Structure 1
């Protein structure tokens, strides 16, 4: 029973939790997706997907989603800043991909070359096509089961 306008019990706790959450959002404490840097000129197609029962003996606990995907980045296109929750291996089929890493270093990978991207939010990066022909990638993702292919992130201050 409520005493002096204060609700007790489960219903009261839920209402208080909702009120606190509303205050936190109103105060701007929750990170905003407006800080993310959206990509443009990028398309992708999943070629195959499966789930490993044993975690593939990599740094994921439990089951691992393995996704094989082709990605095309149009001239002038960009992936936007992002990271992956699992490791990925990529092969550049055509074009030249320019990646800027979290520490503002720049890596360029040309057709016929490959690279590995480590997992985690401390490995934020952006991929760009600064050339005149499309960049085509073949990418294999090794992700914790149910994880998204990538997670949007804000520009770490590299001014790209």
Structure 2
């Protein structure tokens, strides 16, 4: 596992930008590439590069395990289920997302430069990278 964490270049973080099954708020303008993955005991560790195009969104979602990541490029606007901006993350910033349906959130690229994230997912074995959730009533995606 230490090799996997080191592969992140010391980066630990966020954006579970996997577009889930047909749900109320699918993402748009998001791509992801798995860099490395490993299962240790009952935990899946997935290192992924996530790119969010200008104007793109992850869609509302949550994760079954915590995420940690770092912003490699661009600016990520992160909103909580109460519609508040709970973080604006720029190059070099570390993002942490908590696990569970109580932590529904969305990541958006409101800028003109692609957002590039290195994300480490720490999930119960066999869990999807993210689970779609309905928009909690916010007037944006």
Under a length normalisation based on structure 1, what TM-score does the superposition of the two structures give? 0.72
Shift in alpha-carbon separation, 1:37–1:51, aligned structure 2, 3 A: same
RMSD of aligned residue pairs (Cα, Å): 1.1
Instruction: Structure 2: state its 5+ residue gaps.
Output: 1-20
Q: Which residue of 2 aligns with 1:51?
A: 39
Find the structure with the greater CA-based Rg.
1
**Shift of residue 96, structure 1, vs aligned partner:** 0.1
**Shift of residue 123, structure 1, vs aligned partner:** 0.4
**Shift of residue 47, structure 1, vs aligned partner:** 0.3
CA deviation vs aligned residue, 1:26-78 (integer Å, no higher than 9, x gap): xxxxxxx765201100000000000112xxxxxxxxx0000000000000000
Instruction: Structure 1: state its 5+ residue gaps.
Output: 1-32, 54-62
Q: Tell me how far apart the structure 1 counterparts of residues 22 and 137 of structure 2 sit (CA, whole Å).
A: 15
**Shift of residue 142, structure 1, vs aligned partner:** 0.4
Q: Which residue of 2 aligns with 1:95?
A: 74
Q: Which secondary structure state, in structure 2, belongs to the residue aligned with residue 122 of structure 1?
A: helix
Aligned length: 119
Q: Which has the higher strand share?
A: 2
2:98 to 115, 118, 129: 118
Q: Tell me how far apart the structure 1 counterparts of residues 104 and 53 of structure 2 sit (CA, whole Å).
A: 21
1:21-100 matched pairs, under 5 angstroms: 36-53=24-41, 63-100=42-79
Q: Which secondary structure state, in structure 1, belongs to the residue aligned with residue 102 of structure 2?
A: helix
Runs of 4+ in 1 over 2 A off after TM superposition: none
**Shift of residue 117, structure 1, vs aligned partner:** 0.1
Under a length normalisation based on structure 2, what TM-score does the superposition of the two structures give? 0.81
Q: Tell me how far apart the structure 1 counterparts of residues 45 and 40 of structure 2 sit (CA, whole Å).
A: 7
